[in-house]
Amino acid sequence: MDANHTVGRRKPQQAIGTVLATRGISADLRTRAWYRTRFRGETVTDLSGFSAKHVLLGVTGGIAAYKACELARAMMRAGADVQVVMTPSATAFVGPMTFQALTGRPVRIELLDPSAEAGMGHIELARWADLVVIAPCTAHTLATLALGQADDLLTTLWLATRAQRCVAPAMNQQMWSDPSVTSHVERLIARGVHVLGPDSGQQACGDIGPGRLLEVTELMPRLAALLAQGPLSGRHLVITAGPTHEPIDPVRFLSNQASGKMGYALASAAAAFGARVTLVSGPTALSCPRGVTRIDVVTACEMDNACQTLLSGSQVDCFIGAAAVSDMRPATVAQEKLKKGKDDLSTLTLVENPDVIWGVSHHANRPSLVVGFAAETQALLAHAAEKRERKGLDWICANDVSDGQVFGQDTNCLHCLTAAGQVTLGPGTKSEIARQLLTNIATHFSIVKDTTCN
């Protein structure tokens, strides 16, 4: 029991409704609304591919560099993390401070910058990116890329990354038509680089013809489509996380030690894998991961209602029950704070809470993969195996919580039991383990898809 916290209790419908209205539909719809206002008349396309993605935006020295500001802003609003890297000549057109203000990250310019390297080194930055896009890309940078030269930070990152790479060329129409530029572009396309544009029309120099940077409204859907190609794109995952609070009176509740970190790490990794993610979260101090729709609940009953509503209302491919749901709740909740001497504080009558994951695995619209967690202090694997059977789960991830391990920590080790056997994930950070589990889930779905196709 925790007498120091007020239970911020809401009715289930209110909780879900409020969240959907304020932040549940969150990044994607807010971006679409902004997109619609900003580019009135344009078709609003799916920008969800940007959710929780890391985009490295290269800006080179051309007049179209000013449009890269709008592109950075649009990608941020669509849920991406954007790191801008400028060539020194690009800074003659737009100040790095502008990009820093738009993205919240200092702009990287120099290859040999000791202070920047002390933070995220250039190789680390190359690995960080899910997508590298150079917009605008000048004729000079196109040539440098085609030749595989690495004479500044941007072209070095280009060679060092394993991410998808694209360029949006922008130059004078006569330059664009030059055979040397054509051969550089062909060479890059042959290496798998996506070349977006250029557009045709009136140019800053007064010429008319091909060479204009594609409009942001054109670039955004194309970049989103490239990013959406994650291993779980098209899948809907529902994940529960955190503890539940079961109120006794307005200031006291029953709960447990869960921090929600594992569930949040799973939600974040699933979004990064391209899935649509709904996180049903008990009270935690954590902020909602990028690209994730969060439904806030307080009690086990609210969590159960939220999950049942989700299953009835939408197709859910995978459910992960990472929440530490309270098994019992007080039979009655006092309207006023209970007082010593006046009220009987020595006994508390408890009733059983619904088993959220049992309800999911026995739902008419059951997800094809239901994954539970088993936090145990003894006989880890035996208890977990029994729980998998009893709750009708496909997989169960057992973790040892004896000696205060796991709760509130950043590291974990899971033993994932399936009908076929057992896989150990970790030890490692909860983020690393989340990615490992999501990789197994993605593999499971790719096998299911292959089998269906045959």
Cβ 198 vs Cβ 169: under 8 Å: yes
Q: Which is nearer to ligand CTP, 152 or 302 (CB)?
A: 302
Q: Which is nearer to ligand CTP, 102 or 307 (CB)?
A: 307
The single-letter code of the amino acid at 22 is T
Cβ burial of 411 (10 Å; 0-12, 13-18, 19+) is middle
Q: Give dist(CA 262, CA 320) in Å, integer.
A: 11
Q: Which is nearer to ligand CTP, 185 or 356 (CB)?
A: 356
Write down the least CB distance from residue 435 to ligand CTP, Å.
19
Q: Which is nearer to ligand CTP, 72 or 374 (CB)?
A: 374
Q: Give dist(CA 219, CA 263) in Å, integer.
A: 34
| CA quadruple 380, 385, 389, 392: dihedral, nearest 10 | 70
Strand duo 318-321 + 369-376: pairing = parallel
Measure CA 44 to chain center.
Answer: 21
The single-letter code of the amino acid at 107 is V
Q: Where are the alpha helices (DSSP H) in 129-251?
A: 139-147, 153-160, 173-177, 179-190, 216-227
Write down the least CB distance from residue 375 to ligand CTP, Å.
5
Three-class secondary structure of residue 251 per DSSP: coil
Cβ burial of 202 (10 Å; 0-12, 13-18, 19+) is exposed
Q: Give dist(CA 315, CA 442) in Å, integer.
A: 17
Write down the least CB distance from residue 200 to ligand CTP, Å.
56
Q: Which is nearer to ligand CTP, 109 or 406 (CB)?
A: 406
Q: Which is nearer to ligand CTP, 235 or 391 (CB)?
A: 391
Write down the least CB distance from residue 39 to ligand CTP, Å.
43
Instruction: List contacts with ligand CTP (CB under 6 A).
Output: 240, 300, 321, 323, 325, 327, 353, 355-357, 372-375, 387
Backbone angles phi, psi at 222, to 5 degrees: -70, -40
Write down the least CB distance from residue 322 to ligand CTP, Å.
6
Q: What DSSP line would sit under 271-299, residue for residue? A: HHTT-EEEEEE-S-SPPPPTTEEEEE--S
Cβ 230 vs Cβ 203: under 8 Å: no
Q: Give dist(CA 285, CA 287) in Å, integer.
A: 7
| CA quadruple 133, 134, 139, 142: dihedral, nearest 10 | -50
Q: Give dist(CA 50, CA 31) in Å, integer.
A: 11
- How large is the C-alpha radius of gyration of the chain? 26
Q: Which is nearer to ligand CTP, 231 or 359 (CB)?
A: 359
Q: Which is nearer to ligand CTP, 211 or 372 (CB)?
A: 372
Write down the least CB distance from residue 369 to ligand CTP, Å.
13
Query: Which one-letter DSSP state was computed for residue 108?
Result: B
Q: Which residues are catalytic?
A: 205
Write down the least CB distance from residue 284 to ligand CTP, Å.
14
Write down the least CB distance from residue 330 to ligand CTP, Å.
15
